[in-house]
Amino acid sequence: MTPDQTYRQTVSRRELFQNLGTGIGSIALASLLANDLPAAPATTNPLAPKPPHFAAKAKNVIFLHMVGAPSHLDLFENKPALQENDGQPCPDEFLVGQRFAFLRGHPKLLGTEFKFAKHGDAGVELSELLPNLATVADEICMIKSLHTEHFNHAPAQLFFQTGFGRFGRPTIGSWANYGLGSENQDLPGFVVLITGSVAGAGNSLRTPDLSGI
């Protein structure tokens, strides 16, 4: 037998737990003392808080990702040309060389049946379906510059949350924690609460914390 095999056969249960406990205790002690090491600046101490790239104006972020909402064409995105051509065959330039998940044959254009109006000093266009949101139009930010080639729900949700259409990238919660930091080293910097059905991208929307990188 090798020396290691001999040791494992001769060590008593009392000795095993004694050595094991000492090892765990030393690890815990090193972790506790690491925060107070005067010779370990933030650049070398992995537990030291890291300053953000820019001064943070927000203290907390609450992000709602509501799967199954009405189309943005019925809520936020006014398309007058689409309204004018409602029911007409879709132009070939939008179909040639493209792949679509559920479209068959030559589809027709479908415009919304709801009316749009401008609200607030900024002239934010909102549908008549959002009368209450229209009263605070100048207090919200509408981002309409995002673009993706993904045409299925799950990859599109993953792209929206992580900026990438495949698994393994950090989500918005990770980046918010990375930018704002955390006031507590023992609790997670962000949590994900799910109600109802899980989003198409599933557990991939809850990727690890990035505050340590």
DSSP state letters, 129-195:
T-HHHHTTGGGS-----------SHHHHHHHHHHSSSSSS---HHHHHHHHH--S-SSS-S------
- Six-digit token string for 140: 């919200």
pLDDT in tens, 117-138: 999 999 999 999 999 999 999 9
Q: Mean pLDDT by 10-residue block, N- to C-terminus, for the chain (213 residues)? A: 66 67 62 54 51 73 79 91 91 81 82 94 94 94 80 79 78 78 71 68 55 39
Sign of CA dihedral 8, 13, 15, 21: positive
Mention every residue, 6+ apart, whose C-beta is less than 8 A from residue 177: 189, 190, 209, 210, 211
User: Kind and range of the H or E element at 196?
Assistant: none
Place of tokens 């001064």: 55
- Does the pTM of the predicted model rise above 0.75? no
